[in-house]
């Protein structure tokens, strides 16, 4: 029974666990419960990935109603891959995050916090797995509403305005997506993605369809924080509680990238998106702008969380750049970066959670001598930073390597240069951190003062994953490549 | 035909109350207008139900009447507290 | 047959009268000079027009569940509309709207 | 001209959408923004419901001789969307109450000024 | 005729929208917003979407308006004149509008029975749902059976909102100030008397809407809102504190959780009975009876969850005191 119902259990288990969380009281129980649910999800995602690895597509008809009349879950390698990313990042973040959560969130609110966390998590899983266009919107809203609340829990009052800003922009984005879906429905009469894909070519010269594409693209870009629609992201990540930043940085934008890929490649089809519309050029331009401008903003940033948030916008640029090549190599690099960036950012934000735990802020001026005070934490930041730059033996290197290969393959030598310059800028801001941490003298009186073991353990788990997947690339590259081939319809 | 005339007459009356709600000038005029508007729309829905030969939609009209009452009270409750009365409201036009 | 015709005509008359009154009172709401007289127009319209129109519709529907529902709506309007009008007026008065300090109309 | 009347509902949808959207991005008051957001969303509901309408149709509640019926699917979708809308509004209002408590104002500009002066 | 009514209603809607944008008095804006919702709902009725009209009226003119009102009462009534440059917003809005106009030019005509929307997917609901689900109200069939999973998402959304609001407002200090909290309306004897008659009737109406959703407009969500509305009325007239005595926080929380779990639980039970998630056919041997049980249960879940969440939203907002 379990294996055939795996797709629905993937979402229903956290969804069922969330309301139960409200009824629990003890912090330790809450934490353990959420962690178990999260790990369970990760295991299920792994099983799904295994089942779909050979190009097999699992279809699950909700309520027993065949698609397109009912809602269908349709799992292929891409879904399973993103599901695994979301579930494992969530598990790892929760694993190490208990101390940080309990420090930053009042005890009385903990049960609601974990409920919101699980709802957000379930929402993200739901977006990723569904094969129904409208269902995407419903789960998008579950995860968004929960994340507004989660972000607003930050201690700084600016967390409130950040959450409000995100709410407004997120709702505009979601409504744009709704308009896009509506117009798509209008010309085809169906909401099922697979069915849409088959019916859209018939109406491909309709202006309504083109408008629907424009609205969907802008709506998803808002959620994805694609440059210049990224304005909500830096504030949201900066002022959210540390663990929430780590979780969202590792998952939310990745799911948005997935939605973009799904709509471009599966629903509208390559033919329509790239031949009828100049999507490739648009994506490329936006990606270049994101890489250059967001990286530059990061250099001048004084708050380290915000620094990494800007770097996230830049990194999203790399993913979009990969998509714009419309080649197996390009898509492989995007998919790889999806996973790799999730690992990097989760690790970095977890490390920042350690810093936050000890000193209550993460301003550049206050991390002087941090390398001595918190050697392990700072070590994690340095390795994560190197990964961000793309130094060999880290995951960052792998995705950049494939991206450069794809650029060379496509004959865009300028883009190779841009990727390299982007990495150089990343090196600049990482170096700024290193300089502050290792070469500036901090407060002499404070001696060694490391973060709690559990937090460090979670952080280093992620850091080691950064290194492991930087060395042993067989799993990630293999999956990414076969997924890319599937998406482009190229037989391996 | 008669029903249609009634519907149109109600629509015009709705339009008039709407203008009152927009013009104000005081908040009480607006509340008055919204209340009158609610009653008109309830009647309008009743007539529409007959016009389209689906009078079982009267449930909706009933709900409107209910919601209208509650909203009016909700607004009035805030006046009672006095928190929201601005200076202009106390002055005659 | 005859009876049916008469009932129909009565119903039409009520509907037409109701719509005429709703228009006049609408005009009153729009044109009367001050809040309290506007309130008078709206209040009368609510009860009288609603009564006429709904009774008109009830005559059309005959003795069915629909009539019962219509009657409920009417009851509802007759209960709530004067209540909220009264509450509104008394609140406005208490807040001192449109009156001078002695409580006389300005 | 026939197309204009045929698509009248859609023009109004576009107009309302533009109005709502304008309120959201141009107004500085946080509550006003949310009201704009609601108008914006409602306009999309109108789009969906309009596309489900069938000429001379009636509500999709089956009765004898009732056909043709309007399309029930957009209705179902919009029911969900309305719920999403009220949920967003509720959360936005809670945020605004908190912002008022923390900043003493709900004007975007004043908030920016306060943040900048830190 | 229908066309004319539609055109007038839509024109009024446009007027209200403009007025909403222009007015600086937030109180006036919210009153207009209430009218706006009622109008939208009336348009939905004229476009045959009665269930949607039901919900829009209850939610837009009812719950949303009351929540926004409470917030205005806690913050400020008038808005400051904006010193923003209007150029950029106007440009963005116009670009969006033009894009949409461009898109509409190719749209199938309004109410065209041959439009793709009417050709694919929907005919099955209209033709076969009576045999497959067995309910005259096709909207309920689609909502609670064909696309029941979306509806589950909907319940979770409202639950999420409830949790989020509690997370946000639980820490706000409930202090009294010289302006006092929002009073009850007990000193209006007429109101008190009328409400005593009304509230039981409203509750009865809510029950009717809950269980009549198979045959007419209505269902769990609408019933839940009406149920909450009855107690909101009670709360406004008899005071929030008295209402809280009946509905303490933990009771509402339990109820909301019960509603959500009931919905998802039905799905889980169908899994154990060997069907797909939310496949009601497996609940009994007879498919139609199974569908009926399933829909009854999930609608009940929706009703409970929505009523509890809405009421708790209202109470939570009402308990926040105005701070200076």
Question: Does residue E177 have a pLDDT over 50?
Answer: no
pLDDT digit string, tens, across residues E233-283? 998 888 888 888 888 888 999 999 999 999 999 999 999 888 888 889 888
Q: Does the beta-carbon distance from E161 to D91 stay under 8 Å?
A: yes
Q: What is the mean pLDDT of chain E?
A: 86
Q: Does the beta-carbon distance from E190 to C80 stay under 8 Å?
A: no
Q: What is the mean pLDDT of chain A?
A: 89
Chain D, nearest residue to A190 by Cα: D73
Q: Which residues in chain E have Cβ-Cβ distances shorter than 8 Å to A208?
A: 103-104, 106-107
Q: What is the pLDDT of residue A302?
A: 87
State the nearest Cα–Cα gap between E288 and chain D, in angstroms. 17
Token pair for residue E40?
């939208």
Q: Is residue C31 part of a domain?
A: yes
Mean pLDDT of A437-452: 73
Q: Please name the member of E38, E54, E69 whose beta carbon is closest to the beta carbon of B38.
A: E38
Q: Is the dihedral of CA A225, A135, A327, A386 positive or negative?
A: positive
Q: Which residues in chain E have Cβ-Cβ distances shorter than 8 Å to B14?
A: 12
Question: Does residue B76 have a pLDDT over 50?
Answer: yes
Q: What is the pLDDT of residue E172?
A: 66
Q: Mutate one of D59, D62, D67 to test the B interface: name it (highest B CB count within 10 A).
A: D59
Q: What is the pLDDT of residue A370?
A: 82
Q: Where are any strands of DSSP class E within chain B? A: none
Mapped to the 3 state alphabet, what secondary structure does A365-423 carry? Answer: HHHCCHHHHCHHHHHHHHHHHHHHHCCCCCHHHHHHHHHHHHHHHHCCHHHHHHHHHHH
The span from the CA of E27 to the CA of E151, in Å, is: 34
State the nearest Cα–Cα gap between C79 and chain E, in angstroms. 7
CB of D80 within 8 Å of a chain A CB? The answer is yes
CB of D54 within 8 Å of a chain E CB? The answer is yes
Q: Count other Cβ atoms within 10 Å, centred on residue E194.
A: 20
The span from the CA of A82 to the CA of A251, in Å, is: 9
Instruction: Sketch the domain layout of chain D as residue ranges.
Output: 2-116
In this complex, how many residue pairs, one in chain C and one in chain E, have their CB atoms less than 8 Å apart? 17
Residues 106-145 of E with CB under 8 A from D: 107-113, 115, 117-118, 121-122, 125-126, 130, 136-139, 141-143
Inter-residue contact A209 to A200 (CB < 8 Å): yes
Between residues C99 and A440, the one the model is more confident about? A440
Question: Does residue C88 have a pLDDT over 90?
Answer: no
Q: What is the pLDDT of residue A215?
A: 93
pLDDT digit string, tens, across residues D73-93? 999 999 999 999 999 999 999
Question: Does residue E324 have a pLDDT over 50?
Answer: no
Q: Which residues in chain C have Cβ-Cβ distances shorter than 8 Å to E197?
A: 79
pLDDT digit string, tens, across residues A103-121? 888 888 899 999 999 999 9
Q: Is residue B9 part of a domain?
A: yes
By CB atoms closer than 10 A (0-12, 13-18, 19+), residue D6 is middle
Q: Please name the member of E102, E166, E254 whose beta carbon is closest to the beta carbon of A211.
A: E102
Chain D, nearest residue to E127 by Cα: D62
Q: Is residue C27 part of a domain?
A: yes
Q: Please name the member of D22, D62, D110 whose beta carbon is closest to the beta carbon of E138.
A: D62
Q: What is the pLDDT of residue A441?
A: 73
Between residues E145 and E110, the one the model is more confident about? E145
b/e map A167-176, b = 16+ CB within 10 Å: bbbbbbbbbb
Inter-residue contact A118 to A14 (CB < 8 Å): yes
Q: Count other Cβ atoms within 10 Å, centred on residue C103.
A: 8
Q: Mutate one of D7, D16, D51, D84 to test the A interface: name it (highest A CB count within 10 A).
A: D84
b/e map E26-36, b = 16+ CB within 10 Å: bbbbbbbbbbb
Chain D, nearest residue to E158 by Cα: D87
The span from the CA of E324 to the CA of E321, in Å, is: 10
Q: Mutate one of E42, E137, E221, E226 to test the B interface: name it (highest B CB count within 10 A).
A: E42
CB of D58 within 8 Å of a chain B CB? The answer is yes
E182 — pLDDT class (breaks 50, 70, 90): low
b/e map A196-224, b = 16+ CB within 10 Å: bbebbeeeeebbbbbbbbbbbbbbbbbbb
**CA separation (Å) from E322 to B21, E64, E319?**
28, 20, 9
Q: Does the beta-carbon distance from B83 to E179 stay under 8 Å?
A: yes
Q: Is residue C102 part of a domain?
A: no
Q: Does the beta-carbon distance from C42 to B36 stay under 8 Å?
A: yes
Domain count across chain C = 1
Inter-residue contact D52 to D71 (CB < 8 Å): yes
Q: Is residue B25 part of a domain?
A: yes
Mean pLDDT of A326-345: 90
Q: Which domain holds residue B57?
A: 2-84
Mean pLDDT of A189-209: 88
Q: Is residue C36 part of a domain?
A: yes
Question: What share of chain D in percent tops pLDDT 90?
Answer: 50
**In this predicted complex, what is the ipTM?**
0.93
The span from the CA of C10 to the CA of C56, in Å, is: 8
The H-or-E segment that residue A73 falls in is strand A72-75
Question: What share of chain E in percent tops pLDDT 90?
Answer: 35
Q: What is the pLDDT of residue A491?
A: 63
By CB atoms closer than 10 A (0-12, 13-18, 19+), residue C19 is buried
What proportions of chain E, in percent to the nearest 5, are helix, strand and coil?
75, 0, 25
Q: Please name the member of D25, D49, D73 whose beta carbon is closest to the beta carbon of E44.
A: D49
Q: Is residue C29 part of a domain?
A: yes
By CB atoms closer than 10 A (0-12, 13-18, 19+), residue A306 is buried
Q: Please name the member of A61, A119, A152 whose beta carbon is closest to the beta carbon of E156.
A: A119
Inter-residue contact A283 to A414 (CB < 8 Å): no
CB-side neighbour CA atoms (13 Å) of A152: 34
Q: Which domain holds residue C57?
A: 2-94
Between residues D65 and E233, the one the model is more confident about? E233
Question: Does residue A3 have a pLDDT over 70?
Answer: yes
Chain E, nearest residue to C80 by Cα: E194
Domain count across chain B = 1
Identify the chains in contact with E, defined as 3+ C-beta pairs within 8 A.
A, B, C, D
Inter-residue contact E1 to B4 (CB < 8 Å): yes
Q: What is the pLDDT of residue A492?
A: 54
The span from the CA of E300 to the CA of E281, in Å, is: 18
Question: What share of chain D in percent tops pLDDT 70?
Answer: 93
Q: Where are the alpha helices (DSSP H) in E239-248?
A: 240-246
Q: Does the beta-carbon distance from E167 to A106 stay under 8 Å?
A: no
Q: Please name the member of E111, E153, E165 whose beta carbon is closest to the beta carbon of D55.
A: E111
CB of A161 within 8 Å of a chain D CB? The answer is yes
Question: Does residue C105 have a pLDDT over 60?
Answer: no
Residues 284-313 of E with CB under 8 A from D: 313
Q: What is the pLDDT of residue A203?
A: 84
Inter-residue contact A117 to A34 (CB < 8 Å): yes
By CB atoms closer than 10 A (0-12, 13-18, 19+), residue E187 is exposed
Q: Is C81 helix (H, G, I), strand (E, B) or coil?
A: helix
Q: Does the beta-carbon distance from A164 to D77 stay under 8 Å?
A: no
State the nearest Cα–Cα gap between D69 and chain E, in angstroms. 8
CB of B59 within 8 Å of a chain C CB? The answer is yes
Residue in this structure with the two tokens 């901090």, named with its chain if needed:
A442
Q: Please name the member of E27, E32, E205 whose beta carbon is closest to the beta carbon of B84.
A: E27
**CA separation (Å) from E105 to A119, C44, C68, E116?**
40, 47, 47, 16
Q: Does the beta-carbon distance from D87 to A179 stay under 8 Å?
A: no
Q: What is the pLDDT of residue E178?
A: 39
Least confident range of A302-311, C49-58, E164-173, E271-280: E164-173
The span from the CA of A94 to the CA of A99, in Å, is: 10
Question: Does residue E323 have a pLDDT over 80?
Answer: no
Q: For residue B53, is it left (φ>0), alpha (ψ between -120 and 50) or beta? A: left
Question: Does residue A139 have a pLDDT over 90?
Answer: yes
Determine phi and psi for A448, rounding to 5 degrees: -55, 135
Terminal-to-terminal C-alpha distance of chain E: 54
Between residues E80 and C68, the one the model is more confident about? C68
Q: Does the beta-carbon distance from A189 to E154 stay under 8 Å?
A: no
Q: Which residues in chain E have Cβ-Cβ distances shorter than 8 Å to A142?
A: 153, 156-157, 160
Q: What is the pLDDT of residue D1?
A: 41
Residue in this structure with the two tokens 């939610």, named with its chain if needed:
E59
pLDDT digit string, tens, across residues E192-210? 888 888 899 899 999 998 9
CB of C66 within 8 Å of a chain E CB? The answer is no
Q: Which residues in chain C have Cβ-Cβ distances shorter than 8 Å to B85?
A: 95
Q: What is the pLDDT of residue A446?
A: 63
CATH code: domain D2-116 is 1.10.287.3510
A444 — pLDDT class (breaks 50, 70, 90): low
D4 — pLDDT class (breaks 50, 70, 90): low
Q: Which residues in chain E have Cβ-Cβ distances shorter than 8 Å to D72?
A: 122, 125-126, 138-139, 141-142
Mean pLDDT of A235-242: 92
Q: Does the beta-carbon distance from D18 to E94 stay under 8 Å?
A: yes
The span from the CA of A175 to the CA of C74, in Å, is: 39
Token pair for residue E320?
């926040």
Residues 172-231 of A with CB under 8 A from D: 172, 174-175, 178-179, 182, 185-186, 191
**CA separation (Å) from C61 to A341, C71, E5, E42, E103?**
68, 11, 23, 22, 45
Q: Is residue B92 part of a domain?
A: no
């Amino acid at each position: 029974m379990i294996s055939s119902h795996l797709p629905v259990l993937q979402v229903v288990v956290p969804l069922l666990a969330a309301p139960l969380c409200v009824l629990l009281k003890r912090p330790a129980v809450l934490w353990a419960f959420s962690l178990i649910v999260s790990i369970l999800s990760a295991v299920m995602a792994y099983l799904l990935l295994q089942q779909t690895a050979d190009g097999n597509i699992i279809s699950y008809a909700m309520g027993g109603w065949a698609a397109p009349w009912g809602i269908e879950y349709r799992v292929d390698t891409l879904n399973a891959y993103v599901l695994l990313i979301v579930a494992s990042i969530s598990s790892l973040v929760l694993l190490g995050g208990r101390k940080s959560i309990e420090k930053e969130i009042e005890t009385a609110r903990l049960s609601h916090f974990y409920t919101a966390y699980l709802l957000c998590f379930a929402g993200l899983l739901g977006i990723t797995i569904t094969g129904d266009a409208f269902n995407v919107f419903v789960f998008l809203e579950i995860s968004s509403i929960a994340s507004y609340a989660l972000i607003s829990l930050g201690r700084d009052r600016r967390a409130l305005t950040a959450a409000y800003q995100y709410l407004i922009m997120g709702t505009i984005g979601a409504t744009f997506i709704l308009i896009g879906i509506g117009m798509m429905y209008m010309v085809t009469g169906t909401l099922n993605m697979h069915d849409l894909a088959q019916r859209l070519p018939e109406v491909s010269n309709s202006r309504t369809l083109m408008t629907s594409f424009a609205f969907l693209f802008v709506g998803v870009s808002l959620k994805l924080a694609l440059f210049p629609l990224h304005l909500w992201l830096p504030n949201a990540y900066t002022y959210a509680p540390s663990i929430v930043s780590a979780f969202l940085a590792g998952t939310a934008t990745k799911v948005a990238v997935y939605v973009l890929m799904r709509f471009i490649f599966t629903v509208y089809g390559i033919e329509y998106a790239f031949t009828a519309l100049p999507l490739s050029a648009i994506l490329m331009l936006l990606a270049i702008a994101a890489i250059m401008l967001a990286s530059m903003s990061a250099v001048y940033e004084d708050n380290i969380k915000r620094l990494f948030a800007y770097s996230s916008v830049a990194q999203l640029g790399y993913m979009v750049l990969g998509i714009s090549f419309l080649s197996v190599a390009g898509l492989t690099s995007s998919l790889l970066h999806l996973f790799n960036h999730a690992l990097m950012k989760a690790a970095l934000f977890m490390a920042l959670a350690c810093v936050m735990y000890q000193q209550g802020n993460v301003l550049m001026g206050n991390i002087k001598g941090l390398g001595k005070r918190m050697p392990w934490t700072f070590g994690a930041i340095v390795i994560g930073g190197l990964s961000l730059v793309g130094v060999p033996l880290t995951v960052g290197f792998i995705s950049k390597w494939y991206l450069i290969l794809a650029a060379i393959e496509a004959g865009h030598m300028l883009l190779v240069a841009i990727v390299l310059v982007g990495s150089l800028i990343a090196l600049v801001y990482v170096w700024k951190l290193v300089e502050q941490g290792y070469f500036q003298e901090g407060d002499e009186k404070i001696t060694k003062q490391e973060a709690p073991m559990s937090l460090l353990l979670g952080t280093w788990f992620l850091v080691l994953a950064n290194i492991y997947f930087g060395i042993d690339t067989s799993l990630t590259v293999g999956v990414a490549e076969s997924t890319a081939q599937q998406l482009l319809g190229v037989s391996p | 035909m008669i029903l249609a005339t009634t519907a149109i007459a109600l629509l015009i009356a709705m339009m008039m109350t709407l203008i009152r709600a927009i013009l104000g000038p005081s908040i009480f005029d607006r509340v008055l207008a919204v209340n009158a508007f609610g009653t008109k729309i309830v009647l309008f829905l009743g007539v529409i139900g007959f016009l389209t030969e689906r009078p079982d939609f009267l449930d909706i009209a009933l709900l409107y009447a209910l919601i209208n009452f509650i909203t009016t009270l909700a607004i009035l409750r805030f006046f009672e507290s006095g928190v929201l009365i601005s200076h202009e409201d106390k002055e005659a036009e | 047959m005859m009876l049916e015709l008469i009932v129909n005509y009565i119903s039409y008359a009520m509907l037409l009268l109701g719509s005429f009154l709703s228009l006049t009172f609408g005009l009153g709401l729009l044109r009367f000079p001050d809040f309290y007289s506007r309130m008078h127009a709206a209040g009368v319209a609510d009860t009288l027009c609603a009564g006429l129109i709904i009774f008109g519709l009830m005559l059309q529907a005959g003795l069915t569940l629909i009539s019962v529902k219509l009657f409920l709506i009417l009851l509802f309007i007759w209960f709530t509309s004067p209540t909220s009008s009264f509450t509104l007026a008394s609140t406005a008065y208490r807040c001192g709207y449109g009156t001078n300090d002695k409580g006389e109309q300005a | 001209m026939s197309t204009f009347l045929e698509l009248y509902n859609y023009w109004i949808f576009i107009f309302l959408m533009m109005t709502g959207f304008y309120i959201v991005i141009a107004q500085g008051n946080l509550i006003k923004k949310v009201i704009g957001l609601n108008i914006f969303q409602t306009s999309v509901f109108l789009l969906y419901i309009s596309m489900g309408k069938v000429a001379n149709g009636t509500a999709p509640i089956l009765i004898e001789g009732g056909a043709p019926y309007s399309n029930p699917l957009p209705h179902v979708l919009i029911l969900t969307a309305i719920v999403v809308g009220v949920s967003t509004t509720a959360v936005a209002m809670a945020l605004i109450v908190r912002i008022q408590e923390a900043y003493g104002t709900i004007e975007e500009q004043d908030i920016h000024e306060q943040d900048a002066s830190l | 005729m229908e066309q004319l009514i539609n055109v007038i209603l839509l024109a009024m809607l446009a007027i209200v929208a403009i007025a909403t944008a222009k007015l600086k008095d937030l109180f006036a804006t919210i009153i207009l917003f209430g009218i706006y919702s009622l109008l939208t709902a009336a348009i939905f009725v004229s476009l045959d979407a009665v269930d949607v009209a039901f919900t829009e009226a209850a939610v837009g003119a009812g719950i949303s308006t009351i929540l926004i009102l409470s917030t205005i009462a806690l913050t400020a009534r008038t808005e400051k004149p904006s010193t923003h440059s209007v150029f950029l917003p106007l440009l963005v809005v116009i670009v969006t509008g033009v894009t949409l106009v461009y898109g509409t030019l190719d749209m199938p005509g309004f109410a065209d029975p041959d439009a793709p929307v009417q050709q694919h997917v929907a005919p099955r609901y209209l033709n076969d749902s009576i045999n497959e689900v067995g309910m005259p109200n096709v909207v309920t069939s689609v909502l609670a059976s064909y696309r029941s999973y979306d509806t589950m998402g909907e319940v979770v959304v409202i639950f999420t909102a409830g949790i989020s609001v509690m997370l946000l407002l639980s820490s706000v200090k409930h202090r009294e100030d010289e302006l006092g909290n929002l009073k009850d309306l007990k000193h209006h004897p007429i109101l008190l008397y009328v409400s005593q008659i009304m509230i039981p009737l409203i509750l009865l109406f809510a029950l009717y809407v809950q269980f009549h959703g198979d045959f007419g407009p209505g269902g769990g969500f609408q019933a839940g809102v009406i149920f909450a509305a009855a107690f909101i009325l009670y709360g406004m007239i008899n005071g929030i504190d008295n209402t809280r005595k009946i509905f303490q926080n933990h009771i509402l929380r339990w109820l909301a959780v019960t509603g959500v779990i009931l919905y998802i639980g039905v799905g889980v039970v169908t899994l154990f009975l060997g069907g797909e998630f939310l496949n009601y056919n497996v609940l009994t041997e007879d498919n139609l009876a199974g569908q009926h049980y399933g829909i009854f249960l999930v609608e009940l879940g929706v009703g409970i969850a929505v009523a509890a969440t809405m009421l708790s939203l209202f109470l939570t907002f009402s308990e926040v005191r105005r701070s200076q």
